[in-house]
Structure 1
Amino acid sequence: MSWPSPTPIVQRSDAARIAVAFTRVLRGVRVTVPTSCTHTFAEALCALGIDDRDGVYWAGRSTLVHEPEDIEVYDRAFAVFFDDRRGLEHDDAPDEATEVTIAIDDDDDDAADDQPPDGADPGDDRTIELRFSATEVLRHKDFARYEPDELVRAQELMSDLRLVGSPRSSLRLGPSRRATSNPDIRRTMQATIRSGGEPIERRFRSPTTRLRRLVLLLDVSGSMEPYARALLRFVHAAVAGRQKVEAFALGTRLTRITRELASRDPDVALASASELVTDWSGGTRLGDGLRRFNDEWGVRGLARNSIVVILSDGWDRGDPDVLAEQMQRLHRVTHRLVWVNPLKVTPGYAPLARGMAAALPHVDSFVEGHSVAAMEELIEVIGR
């Protein structure tokens, strides 16, 4: 659905957050809402704002409701969420869940009575209780709108994430039950000795697998400043929680920060990395940075058969042809090349930036990177 206003009345990040929260309310009362409809509703909020109640009501009803029997449920959910604002007023309670009760009755007049009519069963009224966890709200909140205390909580959430990735074959041989594998003479002789000299069991070996290396390149330029502080915490969680992870900061220069982020103490790790990166919130030369990475680390072996993840919005002051060339070089040697763009979640987003347009043809996966939930989806992409 297309909305005519060319200038958004409400910030896109705010509209997306409100649309996601209200969609969660509707799904909690068993109204089926596809994700695409949530995006459409967010676009409508950008055009209409949230001050016009009737406009917001009809925007939500026309985009989120598809069955006639869901209209009554939608009306009551809308009244609770937008009129009472209960769904938005409890975001500040970090450790407690917020409970919202939506009573669905057949008659509004009866709902106003303190006592049920004579002979009526009190259980006839259908009451649905929704519990909103502050942690769940934080998972979907845009990194750009995080408060300092929310960054700390996000660090805890991202520390629980497990980055695995697809394994790769190793030259090492390990025990195997397949008779078509290489015979294991030593273990076969040991089994023969235990059985009194009779070669009853034959043992075999086959190639094993090992963890594939993960390389993270984080854009720390000025355009990424609202997101870099949170994404750096994700990079730290990956380095501290998984073996064979390499981390680099990418701005006007390339800085390797793997050793600084290896500490399990987030405060120590982030302080060390921030002190080492001298071009924080500066300009961006993605092409030159990737060229140095390819020449000194990537093509020589660090990126070979590895999973390489670039976290950047794609804004580049350098020559886009250089970026395209270096992305092509990197793509040739990697197992998978993933680009994480925090701006991708914006309704109507198109990769129009010169850097993003030059890099996209050489990317295997192009994913969002604006929230903890987006980082969870990234982990799924890495693990495929």
Structure 2
Amino acid sequence: MVALPDLDIPEDGKLSHNIIHFARALRKAGLPLGPGRVVDAIRAVEAAGFSARSDFYWTLHACFVSRPEHRLIFAQVFRLYWRDPRYLEHMIAMLSPAVRGVQEDRAAQAAEKRAAEALLDGADRNGPEPAQNRQEETRLEIDASATMSGREKLRSLDFEQMSTAEMADAKRMLAKLSLPVPPLVSRRSRADRAGHSPDWRATMRAAMRRGGDVQEFRRKSRRQRWPNLVVICDISGSMSQYSRVALHFLHAVSNNRGAGWARVHAFTFGTRLTNITRHLNQRDVDAALRAAGREAQDWEGGTRIGECLHSFNRDWSRRVLGQGAVVLLITDGLDRDDPVRLGREMERLHLSARRLIWLNPLLRWEGFAPRAQGIRQMLPRVDSLRAGHNIASIEDLAEALGRKEDGGEKRRLMALMRGTT
């Protein structure tokens, strides 16, 4: 008889009880689970047995995961709950504040903080403290009064490192932000008593109605019009968390009628291009993003930037890029397609738009350099390159739209790229 591998199941190996607690942790981490799924998971595990660790993982995965965006959360909760025999100690060390003398050995991975908080809900994270440290703790709390507030810390926190509660607060902050744009001056004119230009035609028409007697000089001014905002957002695996936050912010922009945009168009791409503009017109943000998720079938998949931009240039550019549209491209630039083709499609997109702004979350790293071929092809063909990994970077984008010559990090990275060629 072949011995089966150990699963390191906590709580003395009570399988059904542990699956129930595991499901509760997933629900606290954001997965919509009900009692029916828990019962199905217990029955599925009993039927599948424990032939391998991967079988146990995928059996629970099939029962509990119904959306692509929940895969990463499930993987982190599973790792912490089932695979690490010291998962509780690991999470306590990871979530304890630095003033206790406990520092993180590494940055929390994507969705790991949410998974840890779900498993530690109601538990004492800090544990008992010796009496001799209480006076020192009080002094440290007083000294920390001049540090950043929770709101300021949230502004600078990476979206991928946010917990469930922090992400909810961040979305509420983003919903209050606006993306104003200055109007464009049209060649067409309109009658304006306070205008700076004389309207000779209107003056002569008025004089002809009075027998040629000029009684008043008519004046005119240039009309103002508002451009379209076109957002093309990468929803591949490496961009999943950032794209969800970006679409949440985009929903707020598209429903803010006073921001100045004539119309907001939204497209997502991974392995194919999807138009989700009509879904973002719904007032309820959760319903809008659910509908957009159903429409885009390539969430957390691969990336084919060149092919998707070709589809946009061929099918949509003439429809949505008229009247001086501003294009916001949200991607990390890590492409698997032919880099020459990507450069050609980026050039066409750049020529079609009045302004092309690239938001790249990779700029959160201080040592970021344009080494990937896709990034080297895209960088010279954008007007501005900016970070897009936290709330502060989104606020900076709103200010940059009012500055025509703002290039962000493009000049610095272009110099790095010339130095490495």
Output the TM-score relative to the length of structure 2: 0.56
Alpha-carbon contact 1:314-1:356 (below 8 Å) kept = yes
2:150 aligned with 1:134, yes or no? yes
2:165 corresponds to: 149
Q: Distance in 2 between matches of 1:269 and 1:217?
A: 17
- Please give the residue correspondences for 1:267-282 in structure 2 after superposition, counting only pairs within 5 Å: 267-282=286-301
Q: Distance in 2 between matches of 1:85 and 1:209?
A: 59
- Please give the residue correspondences for 1:193-204 in structure 2 after superposition, counting only pairs within 5 Å: 202-204=217-219
- Please give the residue correspondences for 1:154-169 in structure 2 after superposition, counting only pairs within 5 Å: 154-169=170-185
- Please give the residue correspondences for 1:40-51 in structure 2 after superposition, counting only pairs within 5 Å: none
Q: Find the partner of 1:352 among 347, 358, 371.
A: 371
Q: Distance in 2 between matches of 1:285 and 1:379?
A: 28
Deviation string for 1:208-259 (max 9, x for gaps)?
1111111111000011123222122122222222441111001101001111
2:199 aligned with 1:182, yes or no? yes
Alpha-carbon contact 2:357-2:383 (below 8 Å) kept = yes
2:247 corresponds to: 232
Offset at residue 155 of structure 1 (A): 2.0
Offset at residue 348 of structure 1 (A): 0.5
Per the alignment, do residues 249 and 176 of structure 1 end up closer, same or farther by CA in structure 2, a change over 3 Å counting? farther
Alpha-carbon contact 1:184-1:204 (below 8 Å) kept = no
Q: Which amino acid aligns with 2:313?
A: N
Q: Distance in 2 between matches of 1:368 and 1:232?
A: 16
- The SS at the match of 1:330 is helix
2:394 corresponds to: 375
Offset at residue 201 of structure 1 (A): 5.0
Offset at residue 180 of structure 1 (A): 2.7
Q: Find the partner of 1:287 among 281, 303, 306.
A: 306
Q: Which amino acid aligns with 1:378?
A: L
Offset at residue 82 of structure 1 (A): 5.8
1:341 corresponds to: 360
1:309 corresponds to: 328
Deviation string for 1:40-82 (max 9, x for gaps)?
xxxxxxxxxxxxxxxxxxxxxxxxxxxxxxxxxxxxxxxxx96
Per the alignment, do residues 148 and 128 of structure 1 end up closer, same or farther by CA in structure 2, a change over 3 Å counting? closer
Offset at residue 264 of structure 1 (A): 2.4
Alpha-carbon contact 1:143-1:370 (below 8 Å) kept = yes
2:236 corresponds to: 221
Offset at residue 148 of structure 1 (A): 2.7
Per the alignment, do residues 240 and 85 of structure 1 end up closer, same or farther by CA in structure 2, a change over 3 Å counting? farther
Deviation string for 1:148-191 (max 9, x for gaps)?
333322222112222122322335533252453325849x96xx
Offset at residue 301 of structure 1 (A): 4.4
Q: Distance in 2 between matches of 1:129 and 1:139?
A: 18
Unpaired stretches in structure 1, ≥5 consecutive residues: 1-80, 93-111, 113-126
2:275 aligned with 1:256, yes or no? yes
Alpha-carbon contact 2:358-2:382 (below 8 Å) kept = yes
Greater RCO (Cα-Cα under 8 Å, separation 6 or more): 1
Ranges of 4+ aligned residues in structure 1 off by more than 3 Å:
81-86, 183-186, 198-203
- The SS at the match of 2:356 is strand
- The SS at the match of 2:243 is helix
Q: Distance in 2 between matches of 1:358 and 1:369?
A: 20
- Please give the residue correspondences for 1:32-47 in structure 2 after superposition, counting only pairs within 5 Å: none
Q: Which amino acid aligns with 2:152?
A: E
Alpha-carbon contact 2:232-2:328 (below 8 Å) kept = yes
Deviation string for 1:242-295 (max 9, x for gaps)?
441111001101001111011221111111111111001011110011011111
Q: Which amino acid aligns with 1:218?
A: C
Q: Find the partner of 1:170 among 186, 190, 203.
A: 186
Alpha-carbon contact 1:239-1:258 (below 8 Å) kept = no
Offset at residue 326 of structure 1 (A): 0.3
Q: Which amino acid aligns with 1:346?
A: W
State which drifts further: 176-185 or 313-322: 176-185
Alpha-carbon contact 1:248-1:256 (below 8 Å) kept = yes
- The SS at the match of 1:259 is helix
- The SS at the match of 1:352 is coil
Q: Distance in 2 between matches of 1:149 and 1:129?
A: 23
Deviation string for 1:112-141 (max 9, x for gaps)?
9xxxxxxxxxxxxxx995264322211111
Unpaired stretches in structure 2, ≥5 consecutive residues: 1-96, 105-112, 115-135, 137-142, 404-421
- Percentage of pairs with the same residue: 37
Per the alignment, do residues 85 and 286 of structure 1 end up closer, same or farther by CA in structure 2, a change over 3 Å counting? same
Q: Distance in 1 between matches of 2:362 and 2:144?
A: 36
1:205 corresponds to: 220
Alpha-carbon contact 1:184-1:205 (below 8 Å) kept = no
Number of paired residues?
A: 263
Q: Distance in 1 between matches of 2:98 and 2:303?
A: 41
Q: Distance in 2 between matches of 1:377 and 1:334?
A: 21
